[in-house]
Structure 1
Amino acid sequence: MRSILGDAFRGLWGIVILQDQLVDLADQLTKTESWPDGWLATKRILRWDRERQSKASFMKLRKLELALRPKDLLSEIRARVLARGAFAEDLVGVDRSPDSASSVYEKARDHAEKLGQAAAGDSELLEAIVPELLKPNSSDKTYSFGRGVGKAVDDPVGLMMHIRAQIARSEINQISLIPIRGIIAGWNQVDPQAVGNFLDSALEDEIWSRWFVELQVQGSMDDRAFDRLLSAIVDGKSPVWQFQYLAGGRVTDPFSAEQIGKLVRAIADQEDGPFVAFDLLSMVIHCASEKDENYRNDLLQVCMEFLRATNWVLVNSDQGGMDYDVDVVLRFALSRTNSDNDVTIILNNIVDSRRNRNRYFGFDGPKLLGRFFEFFPMMALNAVYRPDDEGSYSLAYEMVVDPSSEGHDTAVAMVPLEILVEWCDISPNDRYTYAASTCKLFDVDDDNNKAISISQTVVELLRSAPNKQAVMSEVIPRLVPNSWSGSRASIIEERLPLLRSLNPADDQEIERVIDAAADARLRELIDAERRREMVEERADSESFE
């Protein structure tokens, strides 16, 4: 009830006739114990609503704030560290610039750490607030508080045993170990050997092992830490989601590329492991820019081996951010490797997985395969352009084109024009039509209200193709928008002049194709679309009436 009233206090204070009753109620609530939620509520009003207070209301509020202000260590910890919205009291009197707020937050964290150091000398107080520390509304203040405790507590092992007992009595989804991470981080600063011994036992403990990785990253990340982490994943001692903690804050910097490789391969072997493995490897690559060239070369070998072994059928891009992580790994590996054989294996595995009826594969094809078309264009074209079981090339199209995008974003757009034409000339009767259906369609002028024009790639494909009618038949449907606002017929009509830009050299054969088929086909589409729009407009009008 105290917490609920604290949340509602700011709104209630705005009702002037209730202010005296709120003061009386606060007095009643604080007769037996402090009320940190109420104190923070007064601080928030002073911070955000001060200008709206009458002189009388302001004086009442200032007097109430002083009465509710914490008067002992436990009350101060609850108000400044554990209560929801605990930063409010730090912001009073501070201007609203980001730099100013950042400085205040830093001071607040420092003060929270000092409170932790003070609390470390009172074992009864510490034991009393452990249930509150473990509540899921933890923050970086509770982490700083925990770090202060870890630096100063006389018996950290005994404290961790008490915390373990509390965790064992708690619902798993109702606790947060953020303050406990802070305790281990502070403890590690003063006695890393003792923390290492604790982590050795925690790995085998039925309670601590569930949260082992987030605890380990607060300790020393040395060879002992690597051995523990590898055992945690290989022997199934910690759930795979815990290993996402390795992808934050450069925690794996002390590990060699070889050690990283062993970890990501072991993680990827677990159910839902590929998501975590790509997340970790992506962060390692991001941090590799500050490593030496030998490390980056070793990391390249790790990535190539990892990508070769990845079961792409099980990779699921629905898990947040995985498509980005996969792209980071592919870009790093493909931009640096000179092994055509390794790239062929990886590419064929991806293509085969896309053709697998049992695939769990939701990746954006152009994004996933785009790196192969960028760095190994001829190889990518050959790998993707294979007939389906029934002899069509529908999957070859689906793998490289996003049909929902304007102009159909495509991985083939990454292929240099001269290479694309060279590839088409190997089998011109069928490849030119495939290229026309998958190449970059539009150039967009960012300096001219994003005006579109036909890409030079389309112009050159039409000029070089032996069957110009077949190429034109692929281009025409792509000029029709899949998504639009306003009149679709008008948009198509505005694109009619683009047909003339397909023939800058005034080639007579191309001109005949445009006149005989393309122009007429677009006009048919415009007429059909206008009839549809009229029917819809009439139906909407009748419905309104």
Structure 2
Amino acid sequence: MNTNNRLFRFGHGVASGVNEIEKVWGNIAICLEKINIEKVNSNFIGGFVRYVYDNDLDKAQLILDDLLNSDRLNQIFPLVQFDCPLDKVAISRLIASLKKNTSPSWMYQNIACGRRHESLSDTDLITVLELLWLKPDGDYAVIEILNMRFHGLENQTIYAPSVDMIKKCKEFLLKYDYGKYHGRQDYSLVQIAKVCFAGDKAEEDACTLLKKLNEYIATYKVHAFDYGEFLSTLIELQPIQALDVFLKDDNVSREIANSDLYREISPFSMLPIDKAIAWCKKSPIYRFKTLASSITPYEKNGEQLKLTSLAKALINKSSEPWLVIEAFERAAIQMYGRGSHASIIEQIAKMFEELLSHENPDVVESTKTILCKLAKTAERERADEELRSRRSEERFEW
């Protein structure tokens, strides 16, 4: 049992052992007003008030009102209120407390703990979150509260976000300062994005958000890997918008295009084939090779690699398939995992062998060229690896 729990139980025990609750509370309040409230551990008061709440609701309401309206004590009000159930009166107090602006934002973040937020309707929670957002670091607290609100949502049957909640979540993500926390909330942002940026109706707002993120990345306010999961999720939810923002023609975000965003498979690899090809055909000179450079062109088939369906489609539909194949070769070597570089190159070479029977002679010739290049590279890498191994053994023997 930690200090906070001990203090809570102590306060609970004090309240249970006295007859004149109002008098004892008055004495506690007088003592609190004489010390620096910022250094007060509120758990003793929380335990005291919770016992009163469970046994005499009217007296507890008076104490909580007293805390809220005290110029000296109202800073710790949210923490004490959260130690009691959040009924309609409690929610009204929290809103009043936020309007008074006397407590730091992290205190209100406790509404995310212990499923407390479930006591609030979407309408009430939106009111709380709007006020909280205006406080210093309130944006951080809002994102964490929404993360818990939507946690495990796909497995729930009781709660579904309202239209107003979805709209408000979009607003929050659109005005969030992504350079402020440098990815610390990546996971939480993913949970919110899944709720508010899925589907055709979210396309316009998703495009606005992706442009904002692209601007942050282009001006080095953040790196793509700071928000790897968030960016990957947005790309999967709104693939065409992501293509238009990050990979459009001669204005390509290299940090996005050349990064797997810390995933084993690039999120662009999840694009629906028909949509990907339709997008490429709008500007084939640029887009086929650009998309080819940005996807993970292979998938594992047991211990072997094979070209994905999307990779084959890009080869088949491009008027310059050799550029697509060359892009795949570069991307595969950059993305594929650890181990002997020579062995990796040999595996990648086998992946291309199926193209030797392709109906397009240009594809066959390009594949032969790539295989010849890979064979020479693998031979050179193997020799270098053997040389490094011998030198390492010689140093050990010495």
TM-score band by shorter chain is: 0.7 to 0.9
Equivalent residues in 2 for 1:510-521 (5 A)? 510-516=363-369, 518-521=370-373
User: What RMSD over aligned residues (CA atoms) do the two structures have, in Å?
Assistant: 3.4
Structure with the bigger RCO (C-alpha within 8 Å, sep 6+) is: 2
CA offset at residue 179 of structure 1?
5.0
1:260 and 1:274 map into 2 onto residues whose CA distance is 14
Secondary structure class of the residue paired with 1:444: strand
Tell me by how many angstroms 1:245 deviates.
Answer: 0.6
Alignment map for 1:92-491 (pairs within 5 Å): 137-139=3-5, 143=8, 146-147=11-12, 149-150=14-15, 153-157=18-22, 158-159=24-25, 161-162=27-28, 165=31, 177-205=42-70, 208-286=73-151, 289=156, 291=158, 296-318=162-184, 322-335=185-198, 338-359=201-222, 363-365=226-228, 367-386=229-248, 393-397=253-257, 401-402=260-261, 406=264, 409-445=265-301, 448=302, 452-480=305-333, 484=337, 486-491=339-344
| Cα deviations by residue, 1:141-163 (Å, 9 ceiling, x for unpaired) | 76456545545643445258538
Contact 1:213 1:229 in 2 (8 A): yes
TM-superposed deviation, 1:279: 1.0
> Retained in 1: the 8 A contact 2:315–2:324?
yes
Counterpart secondary structure, 2:118: coil
Structure 1 contact 149–186 (Cα < 8 Å) conserved: no
How far off its partner does 1:394 sit? 1.5
Q: 1:454 corresponds to which letter in structure 2?
A: L
What TM-score do the two structures reach when normalised by structure 1?
Answer: 0.63
SS of the residue 1:523 aligns to: helix
The Cα shift of 1:210 comes to 4.3
The aligned residue for residue 112 of structure 1 is: none
> Is structure 2 residue 353 aligned with structure 1 residue 527?
no
> For 1:64-83, what aligned pairs fall within 5 Å after superposition?
none
Alignment deviations for residues 324-367 of structure 1 (CA, whole Å, 9 cap, x no partner): 211111101123672433333333333333333444876333x2
CA distance change for structure 1 residues 235 and 381 in 2, over 3 Å: closer, same or farther?
A: farther
Does the CA contact (< 8 Å) of 1:151 and 1:190 recur in 2? no
Q: 1:523 to 1:156 in 2, by over 3 A?
A: farther
Cα separation, partners in 2 of 1:209 and 1:171, compared to 1, 3 Å:
closer
Count of aligned positions = 394
SS at match of 1:480: helix
Which is higher, the Rg of structure 1 or of structure 2?
A: 1
State whether residues 296 and 331 of structure 2, in contact with CA within 8 Å, keep that contact through their aligned partners in structure 1: no
* CA-CA distance at 1:167 after TM superposition: 10
- How far apart are the structure 2 equivalents of 1:460 and 1:324? 33
Contact 2:268 2:295 in 1 (8 A): yes
Return 5+ residue gaps in structure 2 as ranges: none
- Could you state the TM-score of these two structures normalised by the residue count of structure 2? 0.83
Q: Bigger CA drift: 466-475 or 378-387?
A: 378-387
User: Structure 1 residues 501 and 240, CA, compared in 2 at 3 Å: closer, same or farther?
Assistant: farther
Distance of 2:292 and 2:69 partners within structure 1: 60
Kept in 1, the 8 Å contact 2:16–2:51? The answer is yes
Alpha-carbon distance in 2 for matches of 1:187, 1:314: 42
1:358-417 deviations in Å (ceiling 9; x for gaps):
44876333x2133333333222211222478xx66414415x632x655xx322123111
SS of aligned partner of 2:116: coil
- Report the 3-state secondary structure (helix = DSSP H, G, I; strand = E; otherwise coil) of the residue aligned with 1:345: helix
Is the Cα–Cα contact under 8 Å of residues 436 and 475 in structure 1 kept in the other structure? yes
Quote the Cα distance in structure 2 between the aligned partners of 1:451 and 1:228.
Answer: 63
Q: Distance in 2 between matches of 1:148 and 1:535?
A: 75
Is the 2:304–2:347 Cα contact (8 Å) retained in structure 1? no
**Aligned residues of 1:313 and 1:356 also touching (Cα < 8 A):** no
Q: Is the 8 A contact 1:313 1:359 kept in 2?
A: yes
| Structure 1, gaps ≥5 residues long | 1-83, 85-135
Aligned in 2, Cα 1:166/1:223: closer, same or farther, shift over 3 Å? Answer: closer
Q: Is the contact between residue 195 and residue 219 of structure 1 (CA under 8 Å) also seen in structure 2? A: no
Is the Cα–Cα contact under 8 Å of residues 347 and 383 in structure 1 kept in the other structure? yes
Query: C-alpha distance in 2, partners of 1:176/1:316?
Result: 31
Q: Which residue of 2 aligns with 1:88?
A: none
CA distance in 2, matches of 1:191, 1:379: 57
